[in-house]
Amino acid sequence: MHHTAYLASVTTDNNLELVLKVLPAIVVILAASALCGRLAMWAKQPRVLGEMVAGVLLGPTLFGALFPETQRAIFAPEVKPILYVLSTIGLTVFMFLVGAGLDHGSSKGSKDIRNAGVLAISGILPSLLLGAAAAYVLYGKLSRPDVSTFEFALFIGGALSITAFPMLARILYERNLQNTTIGRMTLLGASVDDAAAWCFLAVLSAMHTGSGALHVLRTIGLTAVFAAVMLLVVKPLLRPLGERVERTGQFGFDHMYLVIGIVLLSGLFTDYIGIYSVFGGFIAGLAMPRNPAFRDALHGRMMDVVCVLLLPIFFAFSGLNTELGGITSWILFAVILAAGFIGKYAGCAIAMRTVGFTWRESWAVGGLMNARGLMILIFINIGLAQGMITPEVFAMLVLVAVITTAGAMPLYHWALPERLEAQMLRTPAHPDTVSATGAATAPQHEPEHV
């Protein structure tokens, strides 16, 4: 009897001890994110850039270099798994909100669809090819020996082809550009780019983690079955829910239980089959009702908590794996940065010019599409966790994410000063061609979060 009570006491004390270690780490993360986010906004940059930098500074690059004992005490080995679980839940829910916010039926004109298709291809192919070529040349210097040249080249190319769609949507809606021709094209093109990147990474993950061709085909097949069930079976079943919320304006706890249950089960299944839970969250978002009232209610309930509490934990967890001092050659980093920057910036700008936009509009779109933000961090964290890249390459790609995200707005303003932007706003496209994505419409959310 006494022995049982003692065991219970020890268990309770151990749990309490863990709580007393995890909570200070979270408080430090939130304080650093709030401070760096505010500094980023003061510098006319999106808040997410400051949060990304905060994550890097909390790692071995600054905090660990200046106060190694304190940093090790706050981010103790037993704390990191808890932070990983919280960041994974946050990413899964965030990608769900991104998927739920995509308005994939918004464009009604065949010319709009064709131009957006041209932009999407130009946003993927040049960066993919240049990144893969750079990775092929640098394979012997940067890659893990157990990763093939083909896998390494595809991973680097895929990472560099990403655009930070949610952040881009926020910027366009904040500046009321969503109904202009340039805004419509950019939103549609970026959404296709990101969806393609996740499909690409799902296949690459299946190839890398598979023990053979049969296992790879099984994983890809299960992924296709999961997506088909979610979009062809679950989506129609949820349609009455969206209509009810649209009709009554009420989104209650019962609805939240159902939605969050679907998200977590989707993440669990995709984790189980080997392609990471963020894919499950994204597909679950695509299966949600498209009613504006439903999407606004969903984002109104969930986005703030995800962005303020869970995403900063993800940035910090990424930062703990980022050692900028571990970059052995800044020349090699410059090659990767140049491949990604030129491929996306010049590729998108030239493509926009060929379909009839002015050079100024084209370079503005190129600058915005070049921002990689949170999306590339999710991509490369999966690659690091699965052993597709080394910590050095991870650090290089984190720096690519920070630099390209920081350059997005200055490049946009350089191409389209406020005078020309105001002139463009006076001749908007038809307002029914693009409806607000949930990720960008809720006015109570700061546009800098994603």
DSSP result, 39-57? HHHHTT--HHHHHHHHHHH
Residues 81-137 have pLDDT tens digits of 999 999 999 989 988 988 887 665 555 556 667 777 888 889 899 999 999 999 999
pTM over 0.95: no
The verdict on residue 122 lying in a domain is yes
- For residue 239, count CB atoms less than 10 angstroms from its CB and return exposed for 0-12, middle for 13-18, buried for 19 or more: middle
Task: Report yes or no: 344 and 163 within 8 Å, Cβ to Cβ.
Answer: yes
pLDDT at position 58 is 93
Q: How many CB atoms lie within 10 A of CB 145?
A: 6
Residue type, 195: A
The verdict on residue 41 lying in a domain is yes
Q: How many domains does the chain have?
A: 1
Task: Report yes or no: 357 and 179 within 8 Å, Cβ to Cβ.
Answer: no
The verdict on residue 364 lying in a domain is yes
The verdict on residue 450 lying in a domain is no
439, two tokens: 């990720």
Collect all residues with Cβ–Cβ distance below 8 Å to 305 and sequence separation of at least 6.
none
The verdict on residue 92 lying in a domain is yes
Long-range CB contacts for residues 220-227, cutoff 8 Å, separation at least 24: 222/273, 223/270, 223/273, 223/275, 223/279, 226/266, 226/269, 226/270, 226/273, 226/280, 226/283, 227/283
Task: Choose among 365, 380, 376, 411: nearest CA to 180.
Answer: 365
Which CATH number goes with the domain that contains 417? 1.20.1530.20
Domain with 208 in it: 17-441
- pLDDT bucket at 393, cuts 50 / 70 / 90: very high
The CA R_g of the chain, rounded to the nearest whole Å, is 22
The verdict on residue 264 lying in a domain is yes
pLDDT at position 11 is 52
CA distances to 28, 124, 353 from 70, in Å: 12, 42, 53
The verdict on residue 448 lying in a domain is no
Task: Choose among 156, 96, 98, 85: nearest CA to 314.
Answer: 85
Q: Which whole number is the average pLDDT over 330-347?
A: 93
The verdict on residue 350 lying in a domain is yes
